[in-house]
Amino acid sequence: MRGLEVIYTYTERLDQYTIEQLRYRIEPGTWSIGQVYSHIVDVALEYLDNIRQCEESGVEQPLGKTKAGERLFGEGAFPPIKIKLPVGMEYSPNDANNKEDHLHDLNQLIDNMRAWDLRIAGIHPLYKVRHGGFGWLNAREWHDLIEMHTRHHLRQIKEIEERWNKVTVDR
């Protein structure tokens, strides 16, 4: 089953955080660990909806990925850099969830991904939905993108954890 291992990493690590750690921000305007959790679930659900659209499409799309999409899928990962969304596309993910809320959301995501994993092979690979930066992606690519996106944010969580540890040691 592709993509679930990284989501299991999030569920396993969730228990180690206090509510203060989940809501800690390195500085104003940055995300907390809890917001990263909310973000990865929100984006994964959006990508799963795109898989559904691929399945329902019924129309073959001959166009493919952009250069950035080819590079991303060729490397199988986002580059190890911070990505800033263009002005107007940024948003602030939910920061009100507690550990139980995050665990519930992650478990629902896992269930949804399992269900789609069983169906993706039956979706025509030329039924695609356009991604704004990566071009036309089929159901398998959208599913793989969930894993790449979720794994990418582990670096962000590591940075927040390191800063939290430094702040609490300095107290």
pLDDT, tens digit (0-9, with 9 covering 90-100), for 141-161: 999 999 999 999 999 999 999
Name the average pLDDT for the chain.
Answer: 91
Confidence class for position 167, pLDDT limits 50, 70, 90: confident
* pLDDT attached to residue 90: 60
Residue 21 forms part of a structural domain: no
What 8-state DSSP symbol labels residue 28?
T
Is the whole-model pTM more than 0.95? no
Residue 67 forms part of a structural domain: yes
Structural domain tally of the chain? Answer: 1
Tell me what percent of the residues of the chain surpass a pLDDT of 70: 93
* pLDDT attached to residue 166: 82
* pLDDT attached to residue 86: 60
Residue 171 forms part of a structural domain: no
Q: Residues 54, 58, 59, CA angle at the centre, nearest 5°? A: 90
Whether 16 contacts 158, CB under 8 Å = no
Residue 19 forms part of a structural domain: no
Which residue range forms the structural domain that includes residue 75?
Answer: 4-13+32-80+98-166
Residue 93 forms part of a structural domain: no
Residue 23 forms part of a structural domain: no
- Mean pLDDT confidence for 24-42: 94
Nearest-angstrom CA–CA distance, 67 and 64:
10
* CA dihedral sign, ordered 95, 98, 103, 108: negative
